[in-house]
């Protein structure tokens, strides 16, 4: 029998202004559940999560929390006012029975000392502090609103493992497909003020959503045909008894009202980059580039050649020097050693991850036109600002809306609209996926796939990198950077390790999650410990298994060493890369098990 829900929202409704934000939204969270909450920007996901956390009072509906159940909520923009240090901020979220040691452990595991002043933190450091405060009490329910924003890849992967090991029920809002797919087991879809739930993880959501849209379109088509048939009867039908006619006319009015009041799915974003004349074949060439800050090497002896049409992803922990590397490659910063040669005819447009360049008091129209007229130049042709904003899913009524009242996702779309309006053949994108909803990400990916120019991309979104990048540049420590063919997954397969080698040490798993690979030896009848049959068999067979796996890995690496394989046969390259990753994981597990059994055998004597 299933456990009763810890948290329930039923029939929740909330209206800001005219159109209801939430009409009849439901949310149910049982012990240990993993629920992802999805929907477009502005659909009310964050508001629904705040209602679940008890921070916002709905106009109608019921909120029920099991007595004694604990809830912790991670906001997109945490408030640290009133706290002198990060540690005091984190410890303030603990309850009387919570372990203060775990708070300090999480702070250190997330790369902070705890003595930092909240006002001095970067966006990524503030998010890590807020995560430590949310997770430290080990609550019954954790509500996470965009937890991966501003985090680097090692921290995102650490967070995944921490949440997988947690007993807490999770409700997640995130634009990171890989993060949602790895953690969710059910999906709640907030669409046009109402929720739908499916007992499947996010990996199966998009196919289900498309099926729902197709069924809605079929129903709408049937309704239109029925209305057309009734209207034909009104015009040309034979008059029958008056009472019957009045009822039929009333039914026709009901059908028309049903079609008029139905909230249709929001239109599709129509992003398109304004492309300049093609650049030269060679876009940029770096030879032996080096750069250091206060004797700390950021880039050391880096060389690369980037050609027209390349999509180069740059990944790594925060502080590794990703932005510095891009500035060196684009000529914005001069190298201290080596040289950078830029190609001819470059027209560069940069999209910064920060929204600081947006004047919060400016209107949507002013942000795109600069306050000059009502038109925007797109591809050399004038376009009315209202029409251009519609392409980015803004309504005509929002044209005079101040930017300060927009959500994070809406501000991200404004930045995107402004950048894509400028002609370019080189796009420099610094975390372009931050705050964008999944549908907007889909369109952005399609636009970048059709873009004829060159792309330099900093991103912590693994799925986005796999779909866009043709090569990935990764820090290897002490200022060394290496370039790998393919996307993020391909890089891991070739590199043989993830980025965690430069990340903070992961938090110690709770005692309940500890599962040693080698079981403890069972005591014999005489009281002495002995290896059981399975352990003895594994100790004999594992060396042969390890040797076989090593040969298989060497064979795959030899095939991947062919520099032309990726461009000649991407499918085969992907197959070999996936196989290499799987074999490497098997080898690591086998070696770990053998080592633990050997240690156990020596302890027994």
CATH assignment of the domain containing 538? 1.10.287.380
Answer whether 299's CB lies under 8 Å from 324's CB: yes
Q: In this model, does residue 423 exceed pLDDT 50?
A: yes
Binned at pLDDT 50, 70 and 90, residue 303 comes out as: very high
Our count of domains for the chain comes to: 3
Structure tokens at 25: 């939204």
What φ, ψ does residue 367 adopt, rounded to 5°? -65, -30
What tokens appear for 197 in the block?
A: 């739930």
In a domain, 326, yes or no: yes
269-294 average pLDDT score: 81
Tens-digit pLDDT profile for residues 479-488:
999 999 888 9
Among 46-55, 426-435, 458-467, which range has the highest average pLDDT? Answer: 46-55
**Do residue 29 and residue 156 come from a single domain?**
yes
**Residues 569, 467 share a domain:** no
**42 is known to lie in a ligand binding site:** yes
In the predicted model, what is the mean pLDDT of residues 277-302? Answer: 90
121 within some domain: no
The pLDDT of residue 533: 58
Please check if 95 is assigned to a binding site.
Answer: no
Residues 478 and 544 in one domain: no
What is the Cα–Cα distance from 220 to 210, expressed in whole angstroms?
15
* Residue 85 falls inside a structural domain: no
At 29-42, the pLDDT tens digits run 999 999 999 988 77
**Same domain assignment for residues 493 and 524:** no
The CA–CA distances, whole Å, from 215 to 206, 222, 229, 256 equal 14, 11, 21, 20
Residues 377 and 453 in one domain: yes
DSSP letters, 366-422, are HHHHTTSSSEEEETTEEEEHHHHHHHTT--GGGTT-BGGGS-HHHHHHHHHHHHHTS
Share of the chain above pLDDT 70, in %: 82
Give the 3-state DSSP-derived string for 65-107, with helices as H, strands as E and coil as C.
ECCCCCEEEECCCCCCCCCCCHHHHHHCCCCCCCCHHHHHHHH
Pairwise CA distance, residues 509 & 478, whole Å = 30
43 annotated ligand-binding residue: yes
Nearest CA among 42, 119, 124, 117 for reference residue 353 = 124
Res. 354 pLDDT band, cuts 50 70 90: low
Tokens describing residue 292: 């250091």
Distance CA 313, CA 70 (A): 41
Which residue reads 């492309």 in tokens?
275
Contacts for 390-396: CB closer than 8 Å, 24+ residues apart: 390/267, 391/269, 391/270, 391/271, 391/272, 391/417, 392/269, 392/270, 392/271, 392/416, 392/417, 393/40, 393/41, 393/266, 393/267, 393/269, 393/440, 394/364
The CA distance from 605 to 594, in Å, is 17
Asked if 24 and 79 touch (Cβ cutoff 8 Å), the reply is no
**Does 328 have pLDDT greater than 50?**
yes
Position 399 in a domain = yes
The answer to whether residue 104 sits within a structural domain is no
**How is residue 153 written in tokens?**
């890849």
Q: How far apart are CA 246 and CA 224, in angstroms?
A: 21
> How far, in Å, CA of 469 to CA of 583, rounded?
24
Whether residue 132 contacts residue 100, with contact meaning beta carbons closer than 8 Å, is answered with no
More confident residue, 410 or 322: 322
Q: Please report how many Cα atoms fall inside a 13 Å half-sphere around the Cα of residue 1, on the Cβ side.
A: 1
Tell me the pLDDT band of 338, cut-offs 50, 70 and 90: very high
Would 341 be classed as within a structural domain?
yes
In angstroms, how far is the first alpha carbon of the chain from the final one?
48
Which of 501, 532, 566 marks a domain boundary? Answer: 501
In the predicted structure, residue 372 carries a pLDDT above the cut 80: no
Is 320 known to sit in a ligand binding site? yes
245 is in an annotated binding site: no
Mean pLDDT of 345-364: 77
232 or 416, greater pLDDT = 416
**Which band of pLDDT confidence, cut at 50, 70 and 90, is reported for residue 383?**
confident
Cβ neighbors of 503 (< 8 A, separation 6 or more) are: 111, 152, 154, 155, 157, 158, 317
**Is 319 a member of any domain?**
yes
Summary mean pLDDT of the chain: 81
Question: Does 318 belong to an annotated binding site?
Answer: yes
User: Could you tell me if 497 and 433 lie in one domain?
Assistant: yes
Same domain flag for 305 and 447: yes
Same domain, 399 and 439: yes
In sequence order, the 6+-apart residues with CB closer than 8 A to the CB of 501 are 477
Distance CA 549, CA 556 (A): 11
Task: Check residue 395 and give its pLDDT.
Answer: 77
* DSSP class of 120: G
pLDDT above 50 for 515: no
575 is in an annotated binding site: no
Contact status, residue 256 vs residue 227, Cβ threshold 8 Å: yes
Confidence of residue 295 (pLDDT cuts 50, 70, 90): confident
* Residue 46 annotated as binding site: yes
CATH number of the domain within which 156 lies: 3.40.50.300
Q: What is the pLDDT of residue 368?
A: 82
Those residues with Cβ within 8 angstroms of residue 481's Cβ, 6 or more apart along the chain or in another chain: 299, 302, 325, 473, 474, 475
Find out whether 39 is annotated in a ligand binding site.
Answer: yes
Q: Three-state secondary structure along 481-533?
A: EEEEECCHHHHHHHHCCCHHHHCCCCCCCCHHHCCCCCCCCEECCCCCEECCH
Confidence of residue 184 (pLDDT cuts 50, 70, 90): very high
Give yes or no: residues 494 and 537 share one domain. Answer: no
| pLDDT (0 to 100) of residue 419 | 79
Tell how strand 194-198 and strand 186-191 pair up.
antiparallel
Band (506; pLDDT cuts 50, 70, 90): very low
194 labeled binding residue: no
Q: Which pLDDT band holds residue 568 (cuts at 50, 70, 90)?
A: confident
Q: How far apart are CA 236 and CA 154, in angstroms?
A: 71
* Segment 200-229 mean pLDDT: 78
Last residue of a domain, one of 454, 471, 501: 501
CA angle 569, 315, 357 (to 5 degrees): 125
Given a cut of 50, whether residue 516 has pLDDT beyond it is: no
Residue carrying the six token digits 């690369």: 304
Whether 249 has a pLDDT exceeding 80, the answer reads no
Same domain, 416 and 532: no
Q: Is 13 annotated for ligand binding?
A: no
Q: Are residues 427 and 569 in the same domain?
A: no
Q: How far apart are the C-alpha atoms of 174 and 170, rounded to whole Å?
A: 12
Least confident residue range of 176-185, 199-208, 497-506: 497-506
Is 559 marked within a binding site?
no
Res 59: pLDDT: 92
pLDDT for 248 equals 57
pLDDT interval class at 307 (50, 70, 90) = very high
Place of tokens 């493992």: 161
Count the neighbouring beta carbons within 10 Å of the beta carbon of residue 485: 19
Final residue belonging to a domain, choices 207, 233, 266: 207
Ligand-binding site membership of 321 (annotated): yes
What is the C-alpha separation between 114 and 112, in angstroms, rounded? 6
Which comes out higher in pLDDT, residue 350 or 520?
350
Residue 232 belongs to a domain: no
Cα(210)–Cα(208) distance, rounded to whole angstroms?
6
Say if residue 513's pLDDT is above 50.
no
Percent of the chain residues topping a pLDDT of 90: 35
User: Which band of pLDDT confidence, cut at 50, 70 and 90, is reported for residue 545?
Assistant: confident
Cα–Cα distance for residue pair 194/22, rounded to 1 Å: 6
Q: What is the pLDDT of residues 119-133, one digit of tens each?
A: 888 888 899 999 999
Nearest to residue 79, comparing CAs of 70, 68, 69, 92? Answer: 92
Residue 150 structural domain: 7-69+140-207
Residues 497 and 528 in one domain: no
Query: What distance in Å separates the CA atoms of residue 453 and residue 469, rounded to the nearest whole number?
Result: 13
């Amino acid at each position: 029998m299933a456990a009763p829900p810890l948290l329930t929202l039923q029939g929740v409704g909330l209206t800001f202004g005219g159109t209801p934000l939430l009409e009849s939204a439901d949310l149910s969270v049982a012990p240990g559940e993993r629920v992802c909450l999805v929907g477009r920007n502005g659909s009310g996901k964050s508001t629904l999560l705040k209602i679940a956390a008890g921070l916002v009072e709905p106009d109608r509906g019921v909120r029920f929390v099991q007595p004694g159940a604990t809830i912790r909520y991670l906001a997109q923009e945490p408030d640290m006012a009133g706290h002198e240090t990060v540690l005091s901020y984190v410890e303030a979220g603990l309850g009387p029975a919570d372990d203060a040691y775990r708070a300090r452990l999480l702070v250190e595991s997330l790369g902070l000392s705890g003595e930092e002043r909240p006002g001095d933190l970067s966006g990524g450091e503030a998010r890590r502090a807020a995560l430590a405060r949310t997770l430290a009490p080990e609550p019954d329910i954790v509500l996470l609103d965009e937890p991966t924003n501003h985090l680097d890849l090692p921290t995102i992967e650490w967070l995944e493992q921490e949440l997988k090991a947690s007993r807490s029920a999770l409700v997640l809002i995130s634009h990171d497909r890989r993060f949602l797919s790895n953690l969710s087991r059910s999906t709640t879809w907030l669409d046009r003020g109402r929720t739908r739930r499916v007992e499947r993880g996010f990996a199966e959501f998009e196919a289900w959503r498309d099926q729902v849209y197709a069924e809605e379109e079929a129903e709408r088509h049937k309704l239109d045909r029925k209305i057309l048939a009734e209207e034909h009867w009104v015009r040309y039908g034979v008059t029958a008894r008056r009472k019957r006619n009045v009822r039929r006319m009333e039914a026709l009015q009901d059908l028309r009202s049903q079609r008029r009041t139905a909230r249709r799915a929001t239109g599709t974003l129509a992003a398109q980059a304004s492309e300049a004349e093609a650049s030269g074949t060679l876009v940029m060439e770096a030879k032996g580039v080096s750069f250091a800050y206060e004797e700390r090497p950021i880039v050391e002896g880096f060389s690369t050649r980037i050609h027209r049409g390349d999509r180069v992803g740059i990944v790594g922990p925060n502080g590794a020097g990703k932005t510095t590397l891009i500035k060196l490659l684009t000529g914005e910063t001069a190298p201290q050693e080596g040289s950078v040669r830029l190609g001819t005819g470059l027209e560069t447009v940069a999209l910064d991850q920060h929204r600081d360049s947006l004047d919060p008091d400016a209107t949507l129209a002013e942000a795109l036109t600069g306050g000059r007229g009502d038109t925007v130049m797109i591809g050399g042709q004038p376009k009315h600002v209202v029409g251009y904003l519609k392409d980015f899913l803004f309504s005509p009524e929002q044209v005079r809306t101040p930017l300060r009242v927009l959500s994070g996702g809406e501000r991200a779309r404004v930045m995107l609209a402004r950048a894509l309006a400028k002609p370019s053949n080189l796009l420099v994108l610094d975390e372009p996926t931050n705050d964008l909803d999944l549908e907007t990400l889909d369109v952005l990916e399609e636009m970048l796939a059709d873009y004829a120019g060159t792309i330099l991309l900093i991103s912590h979104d693994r799925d986005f990198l796999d779909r866009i990048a043709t090569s990935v540049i990764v820090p290897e420590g002490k200022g060394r950077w290496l370039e790998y063919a393919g996307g993020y997954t391909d890089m891991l397969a070739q590199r043989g390790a993830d980025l965690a080698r430069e990340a903070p040490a992961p938090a110690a798993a709770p005692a309940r999650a500890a599962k040693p690979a080698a079981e403890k030896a069972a005591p014999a009848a005489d009281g002495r410990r002995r290896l059981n049959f399975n352990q003895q068999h594994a100790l004999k067979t594992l060396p042969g298994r390890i040797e076989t796996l090593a040969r298989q890995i060497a064979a795959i690496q030899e095939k991947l060493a062919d520099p032309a394989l990726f461009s000649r046969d991407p499918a085969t390259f992907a197959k070999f890369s996936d196989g290499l990753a799987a074999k490497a994981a098997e080898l690591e597990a086998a070696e770990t098990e053998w080592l633990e059994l050997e240690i156990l055998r020596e302890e027994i004597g």
